[in-house]
Structure 1
């Protein structure tokens, strides 16, 4: 981590343990064995002091025992910014054991860490953590490392160290949604750590039921569970298989069974921790179990944070179409923590920009221009522009809330939020839910809709080009490449929720920031889609 961090930031690297071995010509276990721990700690302090005097901003990597001496803690606080890499003792031990096994397999005689040479190294690790934990927590930044790649951890540290607006992003952005009983949608960088406090404000019973997926569980559930228990909650966890396939009747009834087995009660909250699939499915469970239980949405994907977690749409897919079974059911709280985007694979994060571009096209020309001006930084995400990201997510939430407050159940204006979704949903359905991520399909759908608007004389060619250029700049697809046939898409679109009198009502842009809803001649739609998909 230290090497990669120094490389990315262009800083010199000082590894305290490596410098001790280099200067004294012995491996650390040998120093311990010959001279004892006190002698080693003295050397450690001397090397740390030398590294801290370096003229340039340096990355200094230390061992966990560096905090034992008070002068080391004072020096680090005075001369630098401390980042504590947090890891549970059993994970540390597993890593050490794997390292020893690898060395033996390579024919080497592994060196045993002196402080872990007793009969029960796990107990020893737990004791050391207990003694040092308060010192570790003096660090300016704490970075949990469990189940994260080195790349992910380095990105998080760079964000902590380099974003000048970090403190601004730390202030939660709150939008109250005036629908149903009302609820807050909160954008809070690092807010996941403050989940117990948010739940306490809602005065919910202590038992909570958290549903997440197999991609998310190992990253967040251990720390969330620990924090909730410390705050007096009793969390129960359910893990869904990751992917669109979980938005199914099978998983719906599996969740009902789980809640019934645990005798979940009407006042006890159901928490959806994950992307749009988790949010939609768990929202429908909350709406229908015992005719409605409290729902907390914690969206962890960009797409869910700006779109699917807001507005009360819940549901599952039917083999004949996406989101055909569902209900409107509003949560008690939406907590969007943009720091969760750091753990997403690039493709999963990128698809979320499609929904954000959508908001620019349908409602907000200024947002569209902001995206154009910052597309490179937003796509690269290294480091992520924290303050800008929080601003964009909060702005999208506000735009959607304004629409749903006017038209909660999609009887009128709310339909504009489906720009790009008519073709996009059909593509997802016909290709089998998985070949295309939702945001990728919506991006393609927006290209088709903009082309239809241009062919209808509504939308200027230059505006179509601006839209498509921005989508591409953010890493989204703007051309079709696949095996689906146009006639299958045309047939699937007849099941779209915007069909009125067997005619699809298209959401079409007139200019960036304004759209209308209208039917189109079948011949025009068929010609544009056939051409776009490369068919005669």
Structure 2
């Protein structure tokens, strides 16, 4: 229960052009009463017999996608019908995830108990072997979005020759059936937008014409990126019928300030740009954050498009609409939530990325696996050498999966009211390092990488993860080419810097910790354990 069978099943049926049926809904339709009422009046045994009858009938039908109840496998005859008459997909979810999804659902009679976690553990122990017995495919759900799960199922069905291709359908992640580009949608209602991932997108005139709306475009870039990619983008946009002007800002995190922001406004006003002007951010996270903030404020809001050219910005900062500038007293404390019209991640730009910049981006890739998807974390460990060698397939998978994870979190919590804060794993320590050393001394991703090692150490000291898990995180951060020892800022200075953090409440420092790998918690911690963690992680 709570693994997403109905939601995923409905989406899969639509993709396969089949009829969707939920066995629980069918039972309710036949009896005219709800499942909880059947349980209450007749008991579980009677309900299971009704369920077996429905599954016998439904599995004899053609061209359907059937979502069964979680306990359907308890009946041996049902297991036989399911396995022999269809292709069975087991959506496997962790108990913590199921608790999160079902905590407000009053229609689950088996969870009407004083200890739902214990009940779920009992059910898992009883049912998991039966699920594995009957299943043709096992799909780990983690916490990705529905599109990703459906695409994973389709890919596996085709790969294992369980279906003969998908005539008349297009891959969910692709813009066109013949296009190598991956396209993921950030689902925010009217503010939804696509993330396109592919090679040589900056020179694809037709593609840019479809993504950059309006005739007037202001490109914002910096002194490092401009010599590499500005001319190509200007030429492509002009070929697409756009009127283009550009502003080139000084490079560096230390330039993410009010003075640099004013240079964007100067260019907009000097060129008499109106509300239909589209701002295009061509660069890394600093350029993206400042361009987005300028777009949110100019004439109270004009459209903008993110074209991130670093791995860090492609997997993290370009997605989600967080914009802003730094203040001497705090990082990213001045800004706005403002979503782009599109994100264009051209992986060709990563070939010119210096090794330390690539490593900085890998910190955010590691973060996504650590907080959400332990299977992805395993993949990162196994493929780190390919990622550092800039292998296109490895980079594309890392970017796509990272964007899927972040997009799903943003969909659920656009303005960081709760869940989205878990994306700051390692950032409380990392921001302190950046502020304490001075912006620009360490790259943001380097500080986050070291911050994740410190957060893992703190998680271990609190008993949330074991020594092996802590060591895995440190080793994968080190394998990415990132620092694992923090600078000695002095204990008082460490505390002072961490107190200036957007997550803090009531004067208490809040940390994102692992409990366990693949699941994050937001919590305050005892001061002495925090100081012990800092002492154990600093370079002596």
TM over 0.5: yes
User: For residues 200 and 337 of structure 1, what CA distance do their matches in structure 2 show?
Assistant: 15
Aligned to 1:392: 398
1:234 to 235, 243, 260: 243
TM-score, length-normalised on structure 1?
0.66
1:510 positional shift: 1.4
1:483 positional shift: 5.5
Aligned to 1:519: 524
Give ranges in structure 1 of 5+ residues lacking alignment: 1-167
1:184 aligns with 2:190: no
Aligned to 2:319: 310
Contact 2:360 2:446 in 1 (8 A): yes
Runs of 4+ in 1 over 3 A off after TM superposition: none
> SS at 2:191's partner residue?
coil
Give ranges in structure 2 of 5+ residues lacking alignment: 1-176
Contact 2:310 2:358 in 1 (8 A): yes
Contact 1:316 1:326 in 2 (8 A): yes
Aligned to 1:128: none
User: For residues 281 and 316 of structure 1, what CA distance do their matches in structure 2 show?
Assistant: 6
1:361 to 355, 370, 377: 370
Aligned to 2:118: none
> SS at 1:185's partner residue?
strand
Contact 1:443 1:471 in 2 (8 A): yes
Contact 2:386 2:394 in 1 (8 A): no
1:279 positional shift: 0.3
Contact 2:383 2:394 in 1 (8 A): no
1:431 aligns with 2:427: no
User: For residues 410 and 336 of structure 1, what CA distance do their matches in structure 2 show?
Assistant: 24
Query: For each residue in 1:414-451, what CA deviation from the matched residue of structure 2 results, as whole angstroms up to 9, or x when unmatched?
Result: 01000000010111011110111000000111111111
1:378 aligns with 2:378: no
Question: Considering only aligned residues, what root-mean-square deviation do their CA atoms show, in Å?
Answer: 1.7
> SS at 1:445's partner residue?
helix
- Aligned residue runs from structure 1 range 103-122, under 5 A: none
> SS at 1:511's partner residue?
coil
Aligned to 2:258: 249
Contact 2:202 2:208 in 1 (8 A): no
Contact 2:409 2:420 in 1 (8 A): yes
Query: For each residue in 1:89-115, what CA deviation from the matched residue of structure 2 results, as whole angstroms up to 9, or x when unmatched?
Result: xxxxxxxxxxxxxxxxxxxxxxxxxxx
1:501 to 473, 481, 506: 506
- Aligned residue runs from structure 1 range 14-53, under 5 A: none
Larger Rg: 1
- Aligned residue runs from structure 1 range 185-204, under 5 A: 185-194=195-204, 196-202=205-211, 204=213
- Aligned residue runs from structure 1 range 130-209, under 5 A: 171-179=180-188, 180-194=190-204, 196-202=205-211, 204-209=213-218
- Aligned residue runs from structure 1 range 317-466, under 5 A: 317-379=326-388, 381=389, 384-466=390-472
> SS at 1:495's partner residue?
coil
Query: For each residue in 1:172-210, what CA deviation from the matched residue of structure 2 results, as whole angstroms up to 9, or x when unmatched?
Result: 11111111521101111221112x433432572222000
1:261 to 267, 270, 275: 270
Aligned to 1:484: 489
Contact 2:181 2:197 in 1 (8 A): yes
User: For residues 275 and 221 of structure 2, what CA distance do their matches in structure 1 show?
Assistant: 20
User: For residues 487 and 208 of structure 1, what CA distance do their matches in structure 2 show?
Assistant: 48
User: For residues 302 and 201 of structure 2, what CA distance do their matches in structure 1 show?
Assistant: 23
1:287 aligns with 2:296: yes
TM-score, length-normalised on structure 2?
0.66
> SS at 1:264's partner residue?
coil
User: For residues 509 and 463 of structure 1, what CA distance do their matches in structure 2 show?
Assistant: 10
1:533 aligns with 2:538: yes
Aligned to 1:274: 283
- Number of residue-to-residue matches in the alignment: 364
Cα 1:494–1:484, aligned 2, differ >3 Å: closer, same or farther?
A: same
User: For residues 260 and 267 of structure 2, what CA distance do their matches in structure 1 show?
Assistant: 10
1:235 positional shift: 1.1
1:328 positional shift: 0.1
User: For residues 459 and 211 of structure 2, what CA distance do their matches in structure 1 show?
Assistant: 46
1:231 positional shift: 2.3
- Aligned residue runs from structure 1 range 94-109, under 5 A: none
**Greater Cα shift, 355-364 or 519-528:** 519-528
Contact 1:169 1:189 in 2 (8 A): no
User: For residues 242 and 539 of structure 2, what CA distance do their matches in structure 1 show?
Assistant: 56
1:303 positional shift: 0.4
1:523 positional shift: 1.6
Contact 1:315 1:324 in 2 (8 A): yes
Cα 1:347–1:336, aligned 2, differ >3 Å: closer, same or farther?
A: same
> SS at 1:504's partner residue?
coil
Contact 1:321 1:426 in 2 (8 A): no
Cα 1:462–1:492, aligned 2, differ >3 Å: closer, same or farther?
A: same
**Greater Cα shift, 307-316 or 340-349:** 340-349
